[in-house]
Chains A and B, each alone.
Chain A
Amino acid sequence: MNQHQLAGYAPTPVTARMENHGHTMLKVAMATGQDLYARTGSMVAYEGFIQYEPNPPAVRQIASQWITGEGAPLMKCSGDGLLYLADYGADVVVIHLDNEALSVNGTNLLAFDSHLSWGVERVKGLAKFAGQGLWNVAVQGTGWVAITSRGTPVVVDCGRGEDETYVDPDALVAWSPNLKVKGKRSFKAGSLIGRGSGEAYQMAFSGQGIVVVQPSEDSTDRLRIRN
């Protein structure tokens, strides 16, 4: 077999704890004592000796309120080696938090260092609305976080004008936790008789901080061939 054809996909040398391999794959350099929480089922390959513990006690406790039962969609990875993670071809964004905090939509969280402090919370001020509720994971401290986005995301600075920024909840990926969040229903009488604009509900952000938005409103249908 002519390996030239494939050689370009070989891993690049490790230079950091987390790196992108292409747009859609995350490469994590694992080491003993530096555990990682990753989305369950996101592992696509690994080299070395890595163990996976789905639904570990620590997660169970923190995420006890996450959805209803079943346990949290996180697994704890420990060991030495290289771990490759991906989420059905979603773009992966690697972030190194430098004593910062980020609030990530539960479905968009791919992995984070276990030594970061984190918590699951329901978005304040929002009634459960879309059936799935809106859960997010607030991650804080100094360490690495990887988030996914269906398509190339855009980062918007909220503090730019006095106006609020409104985001479709399905397209929301992450935001700065110090932003004020509230829900906004843009119902009108017309929408009740089937003539809505299609945009019935948004989240409004105000304050200083950033919002990360993905170019897709479909956060549930992962088995879609994307290009």
Chain B
Amino acid sequence: MAREFQRGHKAKISDLTAGTDLYVGVRIAAPGLAFDISCFGLDADEQLSDDRYFIFFNQPKSPEESIQLLGAQAGDTESFRVTLDRIPANIHKLSFTATIDGAGQMSQIGPGYIRVVAGGEEVVRYAFDGTEFTTERAVMLGDFYLKDVWRFAAVGQGFDGGLDALLRNFGGEVAEEEPPAPAQGAAPGFAPPAETSAPPAFGVPAAPQAPQPAPAFGAPPAPPAPAPQHQPVHAAPTIVAPLAPRPPHAPTAPQPPQAPMPPQAPMPPQAPMAPQATGPYGQPPQPPQFGQVPGHIPGQGVPPPAPPFGQHPPAPFGQQPPVPQGGAPQTGGGLQAALQPYKEAATGQRWTSQNQQLMRADLTLGDMPVLARQGSMVMYQGKVDFGYKGAGFAGRVVGNATGQEMQLMRCTGRGQVFFAEDGSHLHPIELQGDGICVSAENVLAFDESLQYEVRRIEGHGIPGGALFTMQFQGTGTVVVKTHGVPVVLPVTPTTFADCNAVVAWSSASQVIVSSQVRLRRNAYPGHSGETVNLQFRGAPGNFIVVQPYEV
């Protein structure tokens, strides 16, 4: 399960994942702005003593390829692959930064994040947005740093001066010495507006002194010097921009209803497998590993799998520090530890999400019954009574029209009831006097205090003749289920949604049925080629919710 970090949070990588082959994805975007995202490999003094460890688009990997730039993918604006155990000993910190290319300031950015993915699973995410920044032009998003072991920290610190400030912070002299090289290399994106050098000009303006001239970038010359010495120059004290978290302007993300969850699904978290000589999926060269595994895995207990496969290249087996358990590291063995991540969440609220798919209603709070779709209760504790609840007159109208009445049950008593259905994602929506329309089949449960009425939207071609929606009004909570992660769109003059995929909309928006006959030939025999879309109109502030599922 991905852990959500706030600014300033830190954790050992080994607590997050057993892997050391990590994918780091950064998403940052703002209308009209371009961002350059780079990674600084810093030494123990937080200096960029070796500019081959300044990883950016002109130098996409470090000499021994422990840090690689992978490009935009899977919803990430930029992504890196980091192989922690191959990072040379003199690198103590990797700092991931984003810089605005050109004019602009960080307060303009929309919701973004830096995330770490290992083994196909997102393990940590630090989300931020423009409200945390002001006029900065660069921001340090997160760090991997070595303090006994590798750790990850969510930094979120801005720099007013943009890249120069950043470089000074890390490397010192931007102007006089070697650092110009990186700075200029970055020219297309980073160069301060003033001296916009033509993109290909690698080292031009500062060329004279640069100890290693331009070509250094494309192909790092020297073999990975294990411990590049500090040239005195670099030892010069830098403008240390302390990492102390600044007073939080606004603790992350009072996210507007928009975009409730960006593409969160563990997506192609590329990184790990270097394009290295080894076989496609990083099969280690020699197969005999199997023989060796047994020794280390005597069924239980799992003694530290002593690093027999010392080979660092992505070897699937062995080579790991002892981490007792896949699921719940470090908590000791046993049942309790393994199930720890799934423990019941305990908060004193009436509606509590246990996880994305389970919702708990505490009937002892609020003292009113809950109406729920029949069959959606998976468990309850306490004395709860489940009774039949007709959908009322309107419901019967619906029932007659569709042949399937929406069946509700009324949960009364004192206790906690857990609701879920088919593993759908559940979203509690709290209404405070406002209204929302929910497609009838997406309603899972709601407080009885809400007033609701069933409405039908008729249109030619809608399956069943009409689309049934329940309009809720008043004060209380509605639990809406969606298949998959939904998208919340603001209503604009041209907002359309498939009538099968739309889940809910704010009741102030007006719905118009629009049919389109596609010019394209039928998708398949029997398909009319006609699709029914709903068009939404409304004042700004209205929204619709759409699920990625059309049945």
Binary B-proximity of A37-54 (CB < 8 A = 1, otherwise 0)? 000000000011100000
Residue of B nearest to A194 (CB): B388
Task: Kindly list chain A residues whose C-beta atoms are within 8 Å of the C-beta of B322.
Answer: 15
The residue that A23 contacts in the complex, of B121, B270, B315, B320, with Cβ under 8 A, is B121
Is A122 in contact with chain B by the CB < 8 A criterion?
Answer: no
Task: Kindly list chain B residues whose C-beta atoms are within 8 Å of the C-beta of A34.
Answer: 294, 297-299
Given known pairs A8-B268, A10-B272, A168-B378, the reply for A16 and B409 (CB within 8 Å) is no
Q: Smallest distance from the beta carbon of B460 to chain A beta carbons, Å?
A: 29
Task: Kindly list chain B residues whose C-beta atoms are within 8 Å of the C-beta of A160.
Answer: 381
Task: Kindly list chain B residues whose C-beta atoms are within 8 Å of the C-beta of A100.
Answer: 334-335
Given known pairs A3-B273, A8-B268, the reply for A16 and B318 (CB within 8 Å) is no
Q: Is the beta-carbon distance between A217 and B375 smaller than 8 angstroms?
A: yes
Q: Smallest distance from the beta carbon of B545 to chain A beta carbons, Å?
A: 15
Q: Smallest distance from the beta carbon of B480 to chain A beta carbons, Å?
A: 15
Task: Kindly list chain B residues whose C-beta atoms are within 8 Å of the C-beta of A7.
Answer: 81, 270-274, 282
Is B463 in contact with chain A by the CB < 8 A criterion?
Answer: no
A199 to B485, CA, bound (A): 28
Binary A-proximity of B35-78 (CB < 8 A = 1, otherwise 0)? 00000000000000000000000000000000000110100000
Binary A-proximity of B377-391 (CB < 8 A = 1, otherwise 0)? 111111110111000
Residue of A nearest to B301 (CB): A142
Residue of B nearest to A26 (CB): B326
Q: Is the beta-carbon distance between B271 and A8 smaller than 8 angstroms?
A: yes
Task: Kindly list chain A residues whose C-beta atoms are within 8 Å of the C-beta of B316.
Answer: 10-14, 47, 82
The residue that B119 contacts in the complex, of A3, A21, A143, with Cβ under 8 A, is A21
Task: Kindly list chain B residues whose C-beta atoms are within 8 Å of the C-beta of A168.
Answer: 377-379
Interface SS of B by simple majority: loop
Residue of A nearest to B271 (CB): A8
Residue of B nearest to A163 (CB): B382
Residue of B nearest to A167 (CB): B379
Q: Is the beta-carbon distance between A164 and B335 smaller than 8 angstroms?
A: no
Is B214 in contact with chain A by the CB < 8 A criterion?
Answer: no
Is B431 in contact with chain A by the CB < 8 A criterion?
Answer: no
Binary B-proximity of A165-204 (CB < 8 A = 1, otherwise 0)? 1111001000000000000001010110001111100100
A-B contact pairs, 16 of them (CB 8 A): A4-B71, A4-B275, A6-B270, A11-B282, A15-B322, A16-B325, A94-B325, A94-B327, A94-B338, A95-B335, A97-B334, A98-B334, A152-B357, A165-B379, A186-B386, A197-B386
Identify the B interface with A (CB < 8 A).
17-21, 23, 70-71, 73, 81, 117-121, 266, 268-275, 280-282, 290-291, 293-294, 297-302, 305, 314-327, 333-335, 337-339, 342-344, 354-358, 374-384, 386-388, 407, 409-410, 415, 418, 420-423, 483-485, 548-549
Identify the A interface with B (CB < 8 A).
3-23, 29-34, 47-49, 80-82, 93-98, 100, 102, 113, 115, 142-144, 150-158, 160-161, 163-168, 171, 186, 188, 190-191, 195-199, 202, 210-218, 224, 226-227
8 cross-chain pairs, A with B, having the tightest CB-CB distances, nearest first = A198-B374, A8-B269, A215-B420, A151-B423, A31-B294, A7-B273, A19-B326, A215-B357
